[in-house]
């Protein structure tokens, strides 16, 4: 056999990604997703379709059946990009361009698996614990793959991946970044470390584990918000309440909520920066203690009590964290020093109410990618028209059947909650880059007006009969749990 640009002896070149592996008979390429079977390139995974079922309450569920040549697909079958393959670089039509009738409308869905070097994940970690300073490097397998970003209400945020970590560093950094992103997007647990901070195990839809300790609760609010919600629950049961918080510590006797319901002054002094009445910043350094501070003894934030402003022996003090996990009860002695006492039974329901109003701690993983470059020419011969159509919401962009959030502005930059996709929806190639499914759905007339590939449009029945550019080598469609 004479070697050609597409062959090297018995090996066949696969052009499904930029690596362009030469694959020996019976073997797969570096991605494990395409192989050489009897002298042709095949996909090792099947294309995944979704269908609505009455039993699942009309939710989209994966549709599984034994092979291409069996009974027709359900009428409402939605072809996803999962397993569809790519045509990178997209100088040719996308792997599947499917005509369908959606509630009487003549529609087209363009299906592909996109290769993303420009991608990353945004991770929301529900915890009151301090994980690390803003901009601190985040590591996976000792390689820096991202950083800590701005904290949000009750959550710590990480920004991981991106083109600079995937391709701008050394090979080890790129491989580690790709491996971490792929695992996170496919719902696997990933162990991360933060320079100068904590070790945290992240898994989409599961509670985070911080320094070996599983998190249980996302705080009900900051210390000030907690005072505002529960001030009337404490009135008459205790003389002073301090809700300890790394961000805004609340003091009920000074707080507006306390003032409105007639709370008496107590002469308390908080060692922190007073913002507005009853609200204090910087009472402690952040840490793994009370309310996300480094405190193990909350009395450290109290200064001398002032008898002229209401302090007196026997004054009752409750100190509690923003999750209700830590609480302590004190009474002032003759020297106006707080002394620990057993918490009265009447106060326990108010502490439990804080706990009850805390939601379970979860990790949220959002895949974020820029669907640009030659990807768009697999959809239309005039790529900018596709961008404008997506931005105008004329074209609906989904990922593995899941809704996406489209960022305004130039390009097609989108985010998707990875738990909304079926398991194993994401792949990778050794460039390194991630592979994510995409579906563009729009009216047929508009698709043609965009400069769409009219000659490549097929029906579901034709797709079933002919397969795609790379036929599937899978003999059975996998049974997959509903997203």
Residue 373's pLDDT band (boundaries 50, 70, 90)? confident
Number of domains in the chain: 4
Which helix (H) or strand (E) is 279 found in, with range?
A: strand 279-281
96 shares its domain with 130: no
266 shares its domain with 352: yes
| Measured distance CA(331)–CA(344) in Å, rounded | 11
pTM above 0.85, yes or no: no
248 shares its domain with 356: yes
229 shares its domain with 188: no
The residues, any chain, with a CB within 8 Å of residue 133's CB and separated by 6 or more, are 148, 196, 197
Cα-based distances in Å from 201 to 82, 207, 434? 27, 9, 21
278 shares its domain with 344: yes
Q: Which of 32-46, 153-167, 420-434 is the least confident region?
A: 32-46
Q: What is the mean pLDDT of the chain?
A: 86
Residue 5 has pLDDT above 50, yes or no: yes
Residue 478 has pLDDT above 60, yes or no: no
342 shares its domain with 451: no
Residue 11 has phi, psi (to 5 degrees) of: -85, 145
pLDDT given at position 72: 54
82 shares its domain with 28: no
420 belongs to a structural domain: no
414 belongs to a structural domain: no
Please check whether residue 397 is in contact with residue 404, taking contact to mean a CB–CB distance below 8 angstroms. yes
Tell me how crowded residue 125 is: count the other CB atoms within 10 A of its CB. Answer: 26
pLDDT given at position 60: 39
Q: Which of 183-197, 236-250, 468-482 is the least confident region?
A: 468-482
Residue 404's pLDDT band (boundaries 50, 70, 90)? very high
């Amino acid at each position: 056999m004479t070697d050609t640009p597409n062959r090297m002896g018995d090996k066949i070149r696969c052009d499904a990604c930029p690596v362009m592996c030469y694959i020996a008979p019976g073997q797969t390429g570096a991605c494990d997703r395409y192989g050489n079977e009897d002298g042709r390139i095949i996909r090792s995974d099947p294309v995944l379709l979704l269908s609505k079922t009455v039993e699942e309450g009309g939710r989209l569920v994966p549709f599984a059946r034994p092979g291409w040549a069996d009974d027709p697909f359900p009428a409402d079958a939605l072809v996803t990009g999962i397993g569809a393959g790519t045509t990178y670089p997209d100088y040719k039509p996308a792997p599947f361009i499917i005509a369908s009738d959606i509630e009487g409308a003549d529609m087209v869905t363009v299906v592909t698996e996109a290769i993303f070097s420009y991608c990353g994940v945004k991770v929301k970690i529900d915890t009151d614990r301090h994980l690390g300073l803003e901009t601190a490097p985040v590591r996976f397998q000792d390689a820096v793959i991202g950083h800590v970003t701005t904290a949000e209400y009750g959550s710590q945020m990480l920004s991981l991946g991106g083109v600079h970590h995937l391709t701008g560093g050394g090979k080890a950094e790129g491989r580690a970044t790709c491996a971490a992103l792929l695992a996170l997007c496919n719902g696997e647990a990933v162990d991360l470390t933060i320079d100068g901070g904590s070790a945290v195990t992240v898994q989409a839809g599961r509670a985070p584990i911080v320094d070996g300790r599983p998190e249980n609760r996302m705080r009900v609010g900051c210390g000030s918000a907690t005072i505002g919600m529960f001030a009337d629950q404490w009135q008459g049961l205790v003389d002073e309440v301090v809700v300890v918080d790394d961000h805004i510590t609340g003091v009920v006797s000074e707080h507006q909520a306390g003032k409105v319901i007639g709370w008496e002054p107590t002469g308390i002094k908080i060692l922190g920066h007073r913002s507005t009445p009853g609200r204090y910043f910087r009472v402690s350094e952040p840490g793994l203690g009370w309310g996300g501070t480094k405190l193990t003894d909350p009395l450290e934030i109290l200064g001398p009590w002032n008898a002229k402003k209401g302090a007196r022996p026997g004054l009752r003090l409750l100190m509690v964290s923003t999750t209700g996990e830590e609480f302590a009860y004190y009474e002032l002695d003759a020297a106006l020093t707080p002394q620990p006492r057993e918490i009265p039974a009447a106060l326990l329901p108010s502490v439990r109410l804080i706990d009850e109003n805390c939601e379970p701690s979860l990790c949220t993983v959002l895949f974020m990618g820029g669907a640009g470059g030659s990807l768009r020419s697999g959809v239309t011969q005039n790529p900018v028209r596709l961008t404008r159509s997506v931005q105008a919401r004329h074209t609906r962009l989904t990922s593995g059947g899941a809704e996406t959030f489209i960022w305004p502005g130039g390009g097609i930059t989108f985010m998707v909650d990875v738990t909304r996709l079926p398991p194993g929806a994401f792949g990778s190639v050794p460039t390194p880059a991630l592979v994510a499914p995409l579906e563009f759905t729009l009216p047929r007339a508009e698709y043609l007006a965009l400069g769409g590939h009219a000659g490549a449009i097929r029906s579901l029945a034709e797709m079933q009969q002919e397969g795609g550019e790379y036929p599937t080598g899978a003999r059975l469609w996998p049974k997959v749990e509903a997203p």
